[in-house]
Structure 1
Amino acid sequence: MARTKQKPPPKKAVPGSSPSKSKPTTATRPAAQGTPSRRSQGQPALASPQRKKPRYRPGTVALREIRKYQKSTELLVRKLPFSRLVREISNMVAPEPFRWTAEALLALQEATEDFMVHLFEDCNLCAIHAKRVTIMPKDLQLARRIRGPVYGVSSY
C-alpha cells in the first residue's frame, strides 16, 4: 500500500465569507483528480538545486574588483555623462558655449581617469596601512597631502 501524506482537518468557514472564496473546488485543479503525484507519496520535489553563494570576508570582493579594473584598459566612466559634466563646468567658467571635439573629450577623460585611479590607489594604500579595507575621507586627504600640489599628470 502506498504511503500518503496526512492532511490537516478542513478549516471551518468563517461567518460572513462566501464559500466560493474560502474553499477552492476540485474542478479548478485538474491535477488533484488524477493519480497521486510524487509529492503526495512523501518524497520531496527537487525543483532546481539552489547553490548558496559563498560569503566572502569583508574587503575580499573589493580587492578582487580593484585587481580586475587595474588589468583592464577600457574607460570606467561612461562617455556621455562625462561629456555633460565637462560641458557644464566649461559653461560655468565661461558663459559662451565651447565646442568640444570627440578627441578632446576622450583625451580629457583618459587624463581624468588616470589621475583618479592613481589617487584611489594611494588612498587604498593609506587604508591598508591603517589596517582597514574601507577607504575613508581621511585616507583621501592623506594621499592628497603626501602627493603635494598637482602640477601635471607626471606628479603622481
Structure 2
Amino acid sequence: MPPKNRKTDSILGPKGGGNWGQPTARLGHKKASRVVNGVQRPARYPAGRLAMAEIVKHRRDGGYLVPKAPFYRLCQEIVAVLPLQQRLRWQRSAVECLQVAAEEFLVMNMAAGALGAAHAGRVTLMVTDLKLVDDVMNVMAG
C-alpha cells in the first residue's frame, strides 16, 4: 500500500468518488481566534483554502456539476414552451449527453474567461471577461 500523502489525502477524501462529507473537514490550521471589542470572533481558514479544496474535490470526483434531477426539470421546462402537437419522451442517455455537452460548454467558457482575467492581471473572473469570450466566439463563428 502506498504511503499516505498528508497534504492532499486529508483534503480529498476517499479515492474514486463517494461521500465527501463536509468540504471544510480537515483543511489545516485555522488562524487564531481574535477578540474584537471584548467579543471573541471565530477562527478563520486562510484566504482561498476552502475554494481550493472545493476545486480539488470537483476535479477528483468526475461526476456531474449540476445534479441530474434539476437538469432534467430544466429540459422539460424548455421543451414545454415549444409549439409541439405531441408530448416528447426522453431517453435517459439523451438527457445525459445533453448534460455532458452543456457542462463542457460552461467549463470551457469559464476557463476562457479565467484566461482573459489572467491576461488582464487579475485573479477574479468578471462579467467583462465572459463578454469578451462571447465576442471572440461570435467573431470566430462568422
Work out whether the TM-score is over 0.5: yes
Segments of 4+ in structure 1 off by > 4 A?
51-54
Structure 2: any 5+ residue segments left out of the alignment?
A: 1-29, 33-42
Q: Which amino acid aligns with 1:148?
A: N
Residue 112 to residue 64, structure 1, CA distance change in 2 (3 Å): same
User: How far apart in 1 are the matches of 2:130 and 2:105?
Assistant: 13
Q: Which residue of 2 aligns with 1:127?
A: 117
User: How far apart in 2 are the matches of 1:129 and 1:67?
Assistant: 24
CA contact (8 A) 1:124 1:133 kept: yes
Q: Which of 79, 97, 103 is 1:113 aligned to?
A: 103
> 1:26-105, aligned counterparts within 5 Å?
52=32, 55-57=45-47, 59=48, 61-63=50-52, 65-95=54-84, 96-105=86-95
The CA deviation string for residues 10-53 of structure 1, in whole angstroms up to 9 with x for no partner, is xxxxxxxxxxxxxxxxxxxxxxxxxxxxxxxxxxxxxxxxx655
Residue 139 to residue 89, structure 1, CA distance change in 2 (3 Å): same
The CA deviation string for residues 85-121 of structure 1, in whole angstroms up to 9 with x for no partner, is 0011011123442111111111110111111111111
RMSD: 2.8
Q: Which has the larger radius of gyration?
A: 1
The CA deviation string for residues 49-73 of structure 1, in whole angstroms up to 9 with x for no partner, is xx6555333x564455345434442
| Aligned residue-pair number | 101
Tell me whether 106-115 or 128-137 shows the greater mean CA deviation: 128-137
Q: Which amino acid aligns with 1:82?
A: F
Q: Which amino acid aligns with 1:92?
A: V
